[in-house]
Structure 1
Amino acid sequence: MAHAARRFLVPGLLTAVALGVPLAAYAANLSGAIFTTNSTGTVVNENTQYTAKTDVYLDGGPGPNAPASAAGLPAGDYYYQVTDPSGKDLLSTDNISCRKVHVNSAGVISQIYSGLNYSAVKGLWTGTACTHTSNTDTDHASAGAKTVQLYPFDDTPNLGGVYKVWLTPTSSYTGSTAGCSGKSTSACNNSGELYSSGNYHGFVSSQSKTDNFKVVYKGKTFTAPYVTVSKFHDANANGVQDSGESSVTGWAVDATDNLGVTNTLFTAATLTAYTAGAYSFTESTPAGTAQTVAYKDGAVQSSYPTASATVSVTIAGTSGETHSVVYGNVGLGSFDACKVFDRNGNGVQDADEALVEGWQFTLSGTTVLGGAVGSTQLTDASGCASWEDLLPGTYTVTEGTETSGEWTAIGATSSTQVITSTLSGSSMSGTAAAADYTNQRWLVADFGTKGYWHNQNGLAELTQDNIDAVNVLDPYSSSSDYSSSADEPFDGYLASGAAVCTETVGADCGTGQAEVSEFLTEDNGTGTHEEQLAQQLLAFIFNVQHRLDDGGAYVVVNGGLISADDLVADAIYIWNYGSDAEVVAMQELLESFNSSDAVSYVPVDPGTPAF
């Protein structure tokens, strides 16, 4: 149940919060809160002194000042009781069965159970049906929320007119739930509800939630001690709330009272300590933040980098006693450096460009506290190196120099960014800095001429898969009239059915290799330009298959990059539809590649960089 913004944390309000704890094992930390209110749930004990005991009602849900995302009470059945502030005197006078409620899935009290209260009739205990008065919580009626009257309970012995209400899951209750029978000379309604250290009439302190409240008392005036708990955004991490650094509302702080009950307050909070003893306060430390300082009564208790989240306060119990606990926190930033295999060299990561694992980056810089930072990492499988939990400051990430000489930086090799801490609501965070570094990898391949691919060394490299791959392409998928000694496709046989034989060693008659050899050695001095293009294209394709490993590799044509596959596709198109001039130009271009022992290319695979 999320409470309206007008509600504030009350003196004496203690709530306990934990996530994911089963009903049978609530232990110290229950989510949500309990608090006393009026019958309609429109007041949250803001130092209210109720004029009569019958005016006090119990309500439940997310605690005051809690963020909207805070959880309500875990669903299930609960018992409640009223005691003096020390918990030693049980003041509730009816049977425990009369003090049972249900919490629904919205985390609010939604049902008040009936029970049996016992009174003496003619010397015997007799049960009478009992149901505590309830009303609709008008602020949260849509969630099914109800308030339940705490009365009946006896007057408190406390001089300030202070009471304590307790709530515990029925599964955690250790007192007796048996009905009363027999002679009325024995104990009944309070049977099993006896005080012992850590166990308050069946309510174990580590498994309960409490709230203190006042009813008008006509005795001597006593101003109960209290502790204020606050938090500030220490943006410069210097441990002082400087001008412009905001106080933080809604930050969770676990408060443990002198009875051992731990509940969660949300800053800014006031805990009224009606009994003397040792109290402790432990702030939450969410990931991505750091505590910079902790103060008690204006004195530094601990500070960064060894700040402690826990502050202990001893309450003497004197009238008008006050204490303060103040925490400072800062949001921590991060810096992600990612290495882009910028294959096309345009300075950005395109959709088909991978990030590179194993690239070296070095972080350097100075925090706002003046400390120097230095650290070197290699990019992980994601292609990025990440530095987390950085104090505000100025940081530079510089890429390492790869030692193979294959890589060329396309963009900047370093990036300097400022990390600051920001506050949004009750959450702090530091800047998430990031930079991409683009590099291109260049390799060199030794291509073979068409003569190489016709001789025994070239033919030895060819596989049936290589030949099958070219047999489906236009220049080779159907028979041509280029030659009487070889025709297409390269299956080892002429269209007439005769086996193709060659004088080349390593190419047996009737094999694709034999027919490839004959095709590549065909005298085209008087042949067509298309035949010459088809021969150079065939050699180029074999070079791509065996020297570049992947047709997606980029080669340089007219000063620009083109993938080998696209160059093959362009050659096939020109073979089919190009003019004589275009066919000759393409044939000469492919021949220039095939004749080179130093073809520069950008591979598809970035490989493993060396440092």
Structure 2
Amino acid sequence: MDVNRKQPRRAVATVVLLSGLMVAGTGFAADLTTASCGCSTIKVKKFYDANANGVLDPGEPGLRGWKMTLESVSKSVDSTKYTNWSGVAGWGIKAGSDYSLREGTPIQTNWVQSSPVDENGDPINPQTGIEAFAGKTTWVKFGNYCKVGSRGRTPGFWGNKNGETRMGDGGTLQPELDLLGDLNLVDANGMAFDPANHAEFKGWLRDSEATNMAYKLSSHVAAMALNIEAGFVNGNVTYVPVGGTINELMGLANQSLLDDPQTFVGHPQRAYQEQLKNHLDALNNNAAVVSPTPCKRSFEY
């Protein structure tokens, strides 16, 4: 379920084409080496979609060794190649309009195709109806990302001895207590909560419940803040269900606690805070996030 209140506006990235004019996922450019013979070239760019937005953004790397198969019934083409170090594979072929390009599906099941997709978000694979023009290079793009666990620890962890030990790993709990004090945490009555010691924090976590949804949300905001501070969770990774990073989700939740510290039954923002709570609860329980770097992948030969 997407968070739909105060969602950060996501900038529409301008795609810089590797060559030529991009149309419906493909593009073409003049290629002087093939112009004289009437030959054509199809090339594919396979990229790692680190923010899962389906767009090749600056800095996103190519994926090496990805299986790609080009086919054409009319030209009797059935050729498989693997992308090079920059995520590119290419074929010199005859001009035609019935080429299709299929990306391989990794054996590892944590990979997701993010581009191209249809109106329902389902992967388009293969891409069909690709036209190759005489003397030109047609480019096709495929984007993928892989999922890994968030590595989050629950509020229960941060309330037990192991959590207390981790909070004091610098020799004192004060930096972590100060971190919690800087958040807009509230108690069951919607009053500001700034723990003075771990025992107070533990009791607050133990008693957390959703009569006042802001209280329950606070417990998961606190746990995630400690997860990020401890290095368990990378706040910059994308969590697909909210269409943004964990840090962005935390910003929304913390702002909501400031705006609405008392969200009892009937409050207009109660459902919104429950959405935020559910997302953070999942992440504090190791929900899948987009890996910031490509994962292992292999293919059946």
Q: Supply the AA of the counterpart residue of 1:575.
A: L
| Offset, 1:569 | 0.6
Deviations 1:535-580 (A, max 9, x none): 4212123345655434332152xxx433211111112212222251
Distance in structure 1 (CA, Å) of the matches to 2:84 and 2:178: 42
Q: Supply the AA of the counterpart residue of 2:249.
A: L
| Offset, 1:586 | 3.2
Whether 1:567 and 2:249 are equivalent positions in the alignment is yes
1:18-33 correspondence runs (5 A): none
The higher-RCO structure (CA 8 Å, 6+ apart) is 2
Distance in structure 2 (CA, Å) of the matches to 1:470 and 1:603: 29
Aligned 8 A contact 2:63 2:83 in 1: yes
Equivalent of 2:289 in 565, 590, 601: 601
Structure 2 partner of 1:401: 105
Q: Supply the AA of the counterpart residue of 2:236.
A: G
| Offset, 1:583 | 7.4
Structure 1 partner of 2:95: 392
1:80-99 correspondence runs (5 A): none
| Offset, 1:521 | 0.4
1:104-123 correspondence runs (5 A): none
Distance in structure 2 (CA, Å) of the matches to 1:338 and 1:399: 11
| Offset, 1:408 | 2.9
Residue correspondences, number: 240
Change (3 A) 1:526 1:604: closer
Whether 1:418 and 2:131 are equivalent positions in the alignment is yes
Distance in structure 2 (CA, Å) of the matches to 1:374 and 1:569: 50
Say which SS state the counterpart of residue 80 (structure 2) adopts: strand
Aligned 8 A contact 2:95 2:132 in 1: yes
Structure 1 partner of 2:201: 520
Change (3 A) 1:374 1:533: closer
| Offset, 1:332 | 3.4
1:457-536 correspondence runs (5 A): 457-459=162-164, 464=170, 471=178, 474-475=182-183, 482=193, 486-487=195-196, 515=197, 517-523=198-204, 525=207, 533-536=217-220
Whether 1:432 and 2:137 are equivalent positions in the alignment is yes
Distance in structure 2 (CA, Å) of the matches to 1:580 and 1:356: 48
Distance in structure 2 (CA, Å) of the matches to 1:468 and 1:456: 18
Change (3 A) 1:518 1:590: farther
Change (3 A) 1:470 1:350: farther
Change (3 A) 1:379 1:467: farther
Deviations 1:210-250 (A, max 9, x none): xxxxxxxxxxxxxxxxxxxxxxxxxxxxxxxxxxxxxxxxx
Distance in structure 2 (CA, Å) of the matches to 1:379 and 1:585: 44
C-alpha root-mean-square deviation of aligned residues, in Å?
4.2
Whether 1:337 and 2:44 are equivalent positions in the alignment is yes
Say which SS state the counterpart of residue 289 (structure 2) adopts: strand
| Offset, 1:414 | 2.0
Structure 2 partner of 1:312: none
Change (3 A) 1:352 1:459: farther
Change (3 A) 1:289 1:443: same
Say which SS state the counterpart of residue 549 (structure 1) adopts: coil
| Offset, 1:384 | 2.6
Change (3 A) 1:472 1:458: closer
Structure 2 partner of 1:120: none
Say which SS state the counterpart of residue 243 (structure 2) adopts: strand
Structure 1 partner of 2:82: 378
Distance in structure 2 (CA, Å) of the matches to 1:364 and 1:375: 7
Structure 1 partner of 2:11: none
Distance in structure 2 (CA, Å) of the matches to 1:584 and 1:339: 40
Whether 1:448 and 2:193 are equivalent positions in the alignment is no
- Unpaired runs of at least 5, structure 1: 1-285, 291-328, 422-429, 488-514
Deviations 1:299-318 (A, max 9, x none): xxxxxxxxxxxxxxxxxxxx
Aligned 8 A contact 1:341 1:353 in 2: yes
Q: Supply the AA of the counterpart residue of 1:362.
A: T
Structure with greater proportional helix content = 2
- Unpaired runs of at least 5, structure 2: 1-30, 118-123, 186-190, 264-268
Structure 1 partner of 2:226: 542
| Offset, 1:420 | 3.4
| Offset, 1:588 | 7.7
Q: Supply the AA of the counterpart residue of 2:201.
A: L
Structure 2 partner of 1:300: none
Deviations 1:104-133 (A, max 9, x none): xxxxxxxxxxxxxxxxxxxxxxxxxxxxxx
Aligned 8 A contact 1:362 1:398 in 2: yes
Structure with greater proportional strand content = 1
